[in-house]
Structure 1
Amino acid sequence: MSKNHSATKNTRLAFVLNLMFTIIELIGGYLTNSMAILSDAVHDLGDSVSLGGSWYLQKLSNKKGNDKFSFGYKRFSTLGALISGTVLLFGSIFVLTEAIPRLFHPTHPDAEGMLWFAVFGVIVNGIGAWRLHSGSSMNEKVLSWHLLEDILGWVGVLIISIVMMFKDIHILDPILSIGITCFVLFNVIRNLIKTVKIFLDGVPDGVDLASLRNEIMNINGVESISGFHMWSIDGEENAMMIHLNVTDRTQTDKVEEIKRQVRNRVSNCNIKHSAIEIHSNDKHIR
C-alpha cells in the first residue's frame, strides 16, 4: 500500500472513531453531570469536523498531476493539516476558557461514571492516535495531536476520577486540563509554523541552501549561479529550480554531466521535481 493511500485510510479511521466517541461523550457528560466531559465533547465535535475535512483532502491528495495542478494534489493534504491545526488551536483556547473559571468554581461530577468513560476514551483515541502517529504526512502528524490531546485529557480524567472517589479535591480537574492544553498548544503551534512555511514555499527543514550552493559552485565548468530555489510540495516531497552560468570553454555535450553532478549534490534532499537551466555567455544552452 502506498504512503498516500495508507494516510487516507488512517485519517478515515481517526474520523470514524472520533465522531462515534463524540456522540458517546455527549450522552456520558449529561448522565454523569460532568462539565469536563461535556466541554471535551464540544471540542471533539470540532475535531470530527476537522478530521472529516482532512480525510477528504488527504484522499484528494492522491490524485496525479493534470493541467490544473501540474505538481499533483499533494498540497491538499497540507491544506488539511492547516485546517486541522487551526481548529485545534481555537479548540484548545476554548478548553482554557472553560478550565480557568473552574479553578475558582470547581464542579462536582459523578466520579465513578467519569472513570469508566475515561478508560473507554483512552482506548478509542489511543487506537486512532497510534495509527496516525505512524504516518509520515504533515496532515497525519497534525491530526495525531488532535487525538493525543484527547488521550492526555482522558488520562487526566481517569486520574482525577480515581482521586475524587476518595478525596473531595475537584480543583485538580481544571489544573490538569490547563497543563495538558498548554502542552498540546505548544506542539500544535510548532506544526502550524511548519505547515505555513510549506505554503510560503520556504526552504525545507534540514536543507542548507548555502552549503549546497558552494558544493555546486565547485563543479568543474560552473562559473556562477544566477538562481537557486528549493521548496517543499507537501512536507515530504521537495522541488528544485536552479540556473547555472558556465564557462566559455564548456561544451554543449558536457551539459548533461554537469546536470548529473548537480543532482548528485542534492540527492539527500528528497527532490522529486527539478529544473536545471544552463547558460553560457548569456545564451541558453539546454
Structure 2
Amino acid sequence: MKTSSNFFTLLFILVLSTTQALAQTTYKTITKTSSDGKYTYQTVEGDPTQTRFYTLKNGLTLILHENRTEPRIMALITTKAGGKNDPATNTGLAHYLEHLLFKGTDQLGTADYETEKGYLQQIEALYEVYNKTTDESDRTTIYHQIDSISGLAAKYAIPNEYDKAMAEIGSNMTNAFTSFEMTAYMENFPSNNLEKYLMVQDERFEDPVFRLFHTELETVYEEKNISLDDGGSKVFDAIFARLFKNHPYGTQTILGTVIGKGVTFRLPGSPDVWGMMCEGDLEEVYRSVSR
C-alpha cells in the first residue's frame, strides 16, 4: 500500500474516533454555520485538527480536515459493512466485494457492455441453478458451463480501467481495505480534479458491474494463502478467537475461508451507512459532494 502524510492523518482521525467510541469518551460538539450561511457543521471542542463533521440531506456523513500544504486531496469513501457482516457460511465476502468494486461499470471497464451483459446474465442464471442442484456430478457440469461462459465474457472486459481513470486525474493512491467494522476506498488526487473524482465514484458505487470475478477470486485466495504463512496474522486471529468466542470477531476472519459460489452481492443502500473523509485543500469539497 502506498502511503503519504495525508493518508496517515486520515488514518489517525479514523483510529482516534474508533478508540473514543470504544472507550465511550465524553466530548462536546459545537455546531457552526458556514461563512455564507448556507450550511452547518460540527466540530469537537479542543480538537487540534479542527476536523469538520457534516451530515448531508440524504444522511451521508462527510468529514473534512483542511490541509493546504499541497494542492491535493486524500479521500476515503467508507461504509459500515465489514468482515463481521459476512454470513457464517460465506466468510470473506466483504473483502471480496471490496476487490470487485474496482472492476468498473457499464461505462467503465468494458469494450462492449451490451454483449458482455448477455454473458453475465447467463452466468448469473447458471449460478441460480448451481445453488439449487445437490448432485455433485451435475454441479460440476454446471460449473464447467459457468467457467466457459466466463471466458467469453472476459473478452469484452478491460482490466484495470478504473485504476487508469484514477491515474489520469493524478491519483497516486488507488487502494482499499476491509476491517471487521468497515470497508474503505481511497484515492489521493489534485484538488482541481475533485469533480472528475466524484463523477467516477458516483457511477462506481451506483452502478457497479461485477466482472472478471473468477480471476479476482484467485487474487483473494492468494491473499488468504499469504496470511496463512504470516506470523502476525496467525497471532492476531488466535487472540481474537480466544477473546471473542461467540462473536464474528473471533469466529471468522476478514479474509475468510473458501468463498461460496453463486453469492449475490448487494451494496448497503442507505446513505446513512456511508461516509466520506477528505483531507487536504478542501475549499470546494462540501459544495461539490452535497450536489
Q: Do these two structures clear the TM 0.5 threshold for a shared fold by scoring above it?
A: no
Q: TM-score range by the shorter chain?
A: under 0.3
TM-score, L = length of structure 1? 0.23
The higher radius of gyration belongs to: 1
TM-score, length-normalised on structure 2? 0.23
Structure with the larger RCO, 1 or 2 (CA within 8 Å, 6+ apart): 2
More strand per residue: 1 or 2?
2
